[in-house]
Chains A and B, each alone.
Chain A
């Protein structure tokens, strides 16, 4: 048996196999044009990508993948009407095309249209009852309505639909936190951080959960960890400033002036515009 490595050189036949496996018209020249357009699209060269997908569609006018990618290019170019028209065309060609439906929902989110976004994602969940995306967006929408039960329900469905997306764990963590379920929130934030240890929003949110559970030092360590990743992280700066100021007030009231001054200095080092630290250091910092 001949040993052949499946390398980049063998990419086009594999793509052809991959796309053709769904019974589409897949001439070699279509694949070349399409593949080139994809490369432009990923590189952010939207004009060339658009031209490429248009050319590919002259070879295979109803190719759903190419149509969807043309729609995505329009969306990236902020031509939302054209994008919507393309995704509607794909949905008409194949009502079960979940990518077109997902993008229609995203366009409604982009247009800040709550009712339409909700309707489209509900449809998506009906078409594909295992759609992690549908449940992700529905759960997120319910979280924005501060509807704890529905947010947790849908985001758990998204997580359980074999989702590999850390955003799902992040939004679910937020929903658990809102629902006063700190340990579940912590567990989901940990899953986010396993995938991306530099996710400062997860670190910051974990910090407040620990703080609210009474573990102030662990909270401070987490916010400092955020700052080691992004020294300008506003949430971490303000969280630390709030906690240092609060500890300083407490120390000052209990007569531990030196400790209070040191804490105000820490606040000021973090946030030079912090008026509270500035005021107290002027009065007591000498």
Chain B
């Protein structure tokens, strides 16, 4: 009920002209004694007299009757503010702002409260109630698992416990095909299955894959899997190809807003061509969206981690894999950009190069790759 609703109702009843709202009429009309409007008006009198605790005693039952009433909430917030109960005042001002965005007094009061450290305040006594089923399970879970959580305070270190591997292409999409018919989708799957086994074998990591067989997974669903699994690292496995048959070597990509070179830009454009970009929350001038700032900060931290991890991969591939180290590249890959964790795209050789196609066919060579990748990931998890 708002004041306007109340007055409208009153005047429709013809009571307005009878002076019901005038001072002397209020006292004896017992029917109005517990009405929120009456309680609010009486509370105002106590506020005027500086007796805020007495006003609060009237306002709490009034707000219980009409929890969304801006006027009653405003009076209660004023009382708490004047009693020095700033947290309680802030809570109510937030409530008013939720109900009536831009309401001037609560907005200004919140601004003022934001300036200074606030003392701890005793919570209002909550009404005892039985916990819900979810609350009970959450409590049990916290008692069982919460104590086991361990983490050092070094904000530079990044924890890797869960990894999602993404064998590129699959099913009707063979990816690149080598001169003698070797398909990229088969090599990436073989590599992913071996890598999954090797990583899980360390006992350090939980490993999942976006596909475990020869079927197609759309690009968008690959990062959804990584997000679903709450992965700490996403590794997409690909084999490079070029019209130039002599092109050879390994390279590791990470995501960036720009591309390291034209070739990287072309590759990203090719990989991204099947999907439509969705809108993101841009950082607009004239507006400070804190959540957008955090989103941008988070994403760039992951890209920065990805860059470091990409260098570790290439450093490991150098001595352990007998292929040319083509270095670390970056480009705006959709499959990497939408992952909420550091993510890499490995191009483990050129399937278009006859010599490398032959090597990629060999289990022993793939084992070298897997060992190098495991070593790099273990190093990252210690970083």
Q: Is A14 in contact with chain B by the CB < 8 A criterion?
A: yes
Bitwise interface map of B from 112 to 130 toward A, beta carbon under 8 Å scored 1, else 0: 1011111111010000000
Q: Quick check: A38 and B108 within 8 Å, CB to CB? A: yes
Interface residues on B, range: 35 or more
Q: Quick check: A276 and B155 within 8 Å, CB to CB? A: no
Tell me the smallest distance from the CB of B66 to a CB of chain A, in Å. Answer: 16
Tell me the smallest distance from the CB of A273 to a CB of chain B, in Å. Answer: 6
- Can you give 29 contacting A-B residue pairs, CB < 8 Å? A11-B105, A22-B112, A38-B108, A76-B286, A76-B287, A96-B116, A96-B117, A98-B117, A109-B293, A110-B297, A112-B301, A115-B155, A129-B117, A144-B297, A144-B302, A145-B155, A146-B159, A162-B123, A164-B91, A164-B94, A165-B94, A177-B230, A179-B145, A183-B141, A187-B135, A208-B227, A232-B278, A238-B221, A245-B221
Most buried by A among B71, B224, B278, B287: B224
Cα(A96)–Cα(B116), bound, Å: 7
Most buried by A among B23, B114, B159, B297: B297
List the B side residues contacting A279 at CB < 8 Å: 171-172, 216
Q: Is B47 in contact with chain A by the CB < 8 A criterion?
A: yes
Q: Is B294 in contact with chain A by the CB < 8 A criterion?
A: yes
Q: Quick check: A147 and B159 within 8 Å, CB to CB? A: yes
Q: Quick check: A178 and B230 within 8 Å, CB to CB? A: yes
Q: Quick check: A46 and B286 within 8 Å, CB to CB? A: yes
> Mostly helix, strand, loop or mixed at chain B's interface?
helix
Cα(A190)–Cα(B215), bound, Å: 36
Interface residues on A, range: 35 or more
List the B side residues contacting A212 at CB < 8 Å: 228
Q: Quick check: A109 and B297 within 8 Å, CB to CB? A: yes
Cα(A170)–Cα(B229), bound, Å: 18
In chain B, residues 264-281, which have Cβ atoms closer than 8 Å to a Cβ of chain A? Answer: 274-276, 278
Residue of A whose beta carbon sits closest to that of B134:
A187
Q: Is B149 in contact with chain A by the CB < 8 A criterion?
A: yes
Q: Is A225 in contact with chain B by the CB < 8 A criterion?
A: no
Bitwise interface map of A from 3 to 38 toward B, beta carbon under 8 Å scored 1, else 0: 111101001001100110010000000000001001
Q: Given contact pairs A18-B81, A145-B159, A279-B216, enumerate 15 new A-B contacts (beta carbons under 8 Å).
A: A6-B75, A11-B104, A15-B108, A22-B115, A102-B114, A109-B294, A112-B300, A128-B117, A149-B150, A150-B153, A167-B290, A179-B145, A208-B227, A234-B220, A276-B171
